[in-house]
Amino acid sequence: MDDVLLLVSEVVTNACRHGDGPYELRIDHTDDKVWVQVSDNSPERPQPHGRHRPTRSSGHGLYLLKRLSSAWGWVPRGRGKTVWFEVPVPRPHGMAL
């Protein structure tokens, strides 16, 4: 769940920096995945800030979404957008699929 917390922090931070703050955070789950949505008032498409550089102190949000989530995307919503991602829930050791 550390990955989910990190990604929520990144997406909410992006909404604050680029979308005048989030107006909705929604977290849903099933037995095998967690699904998160963050909505803001900016219609601008999420875009990486150039090439990923680990030495930079910011600009890692979309890179982290790509690396740590099983899927992510965005959809227009009202005057703004909703950014969403999903992360698989690990099964306990020895549990059958």
Q: Does 95 map to a domain? A: no
Number of structural domains, the chain? 1
In terms of C-beta density within 10 A (0-12 exposed, 13-18 middle, 19 or more buried), how is residue 75 classed?
exposed
Statement: residue 59 has pLDDT above 70: no
CATH number at residue 15: 3.30.565.10
Q: Does 62 map to a domain? A: yes
pLDDT digits (tens, 9 = 90+) for 1-56: 889 999 999 999 999 988 889 999 999 999 999 999 999 999 999 887 655 555 55
Read off the DSSP letter of residue 74: E
Q: Does 77 map to a domain? A: yes
Span of 10-24, 62-76, 83-97 with lowest mean pLDDT: 83-97
Beta-bridged to residue 17, according to DSSP, are none
Instruction: Give pLDDT, residue 91.
Output: 75
The pLDDT-based confidence of 83 (bands split at 50, 70, 90) is very high
- Its domain, for residue 37, covers 2-47+56-88
Instruction: Write down the pTM of the prediction.
Output: 0.81
**CA pair distance 69, 57, nearest whole angstrom:** 21
The pLDDT-based confidence of 97 (bands split at 50, 70, 90) is low
Instruction: Give pLDDT, residue 43.
Output: 93
Instruction: Give pLDDT, residue 20.
Output: 87
Q: Does 96 map to a domain? A: no
**CA pair distance 38, 66, nearest whole angstrom:** 16
Q: Does 9 map to a domain? A: yes
